[in-house]
Amino acid sequence: MNTVSHRFIAVTTYLLLMLSGYTVNAQEDQGDMIVSHCMKSQSADYSDMETKKWLPIHQEMVNQGHMKQWLLYYVMFGDRTDCDYYVVEIYEDADQWRQSDAMRGMTIAKKYGEKEMQNMWQESFDARSMNSSTLWYTLESIGDNEHTFAVFNAMKAENPEDYIKFEREVWQPIHQWLYENKHSAGWSLLSKVAPAGKAVASNFGTVDFLDRFAPTPFWDAMKNVHPDKNPQEIDEMAQSVRDHLYVTTLVKVAGTKKSE
């Protein structure tokens, strides 16, 4: 991304946050910014290229405090037509995200030099096609444990405030129980910042983080957290505030470690 387009996105981030379906307040303004890149591999060596070339760059950015985490996922279950891998960048706030391109460029130049940097970009272009990128804002998050799987649920909510209220009051406590009882490695509620507009199918997403691929005792969690409600009531409440568009299960291939 060139400097002009990056600055344009930086300037409009606040407006996009407003359009994505909720009002930014002092507390919510501290959430992580997440960029997910839809990658279509064009080479059998694609994942090796990411782990050997790009993982060290982003680990150095984490070590220097320029980003929170970088992850490479493979689509285990879901549509692989446009994306069979996802690269996910996590930033602690909007300021860190806005500076990420400049920091990444400086880190590449320092580590590889100008000539090798050009070779690196060409190797990347040859190994994969970056078909789309999505910017997310983290509304809620539970847990910070290591995980192996990430189950992404795409949601469409016509009334964002009602949907967010439902997630916070109904599903977030359920996921908190699952996390505290070691059935989950974490959970996040995300609001899509960009792209936005009527043509975009989803405007929210949730992610279940798992350290093992096994049945999750949701009904036990519901009974413990909401003893006054039965599963059918909760399902009906969910259907009234959002459309559950699809589920994609990702398996983690590689990722940065916490700051060294």
Q: Tens digits of per-residue pLDDT, 66-117?
A: 999 999 999 999 999 999 999 999 999 999 999 999 999 999 988 888 778 8
CA pair distance 254, 56, nearest whole angstrom:
11
Pick the CATH number of 142-252 from 3.40.50.720, 3.30.70.100, 3.60.70.12, 3.40.50.10260: 3.30.70.100
- Which range (11-20, 118-127, 140-149, 170-179) has the least confidence? 11-20
CA pair distance 53, 227, nearest whole angstrom:
51
Q: 14-49 burial, b for 16+ CB within 10 Å, e for fewer?
A: eebbeebbbeeeeebeebbbbbbbbbbbeeeebbeb
Q: Are both 3-135 and 142-252 of the same fold?
A: yes
Looking at the predicted structure, is the pLDDT value of residue 4 above 50? no
Q: Where are the domains of the chain?
A: 3-135, 142-252
What is the architecture, at CATH level 2, of domain 3-135? Answer: 2-Layer Sandwich (3.30)
- Which range (3-17, 63-77, 123-137) has the least confidence? 3-17
Distances (CA, A) of 216 to 170, 211, 233: 17, 11, 19
- Residue 127 confidence class, pLDDT cut points 50, 70, 90: very high
Q: What is the pLDDT of residues 159-172, one digit of tens each?
A: 999 999 999 999 99
User: Minimal CA–CA distance to 212: which of 252, 257, 168?
Assistant: 252
Query: 256 near 55, Cβ under 8 Å?
Result: yes
- Return left, alpha or beta for 23; rule: phi > 0 is left, psi -120 to 50 is alpha, else beta: beta
Is 160 strand, coil or helix?
A: helix
pTM beyond 0.85, yes or no: yes
CA pair distance 222, 176, nearest whole angstrom:
11
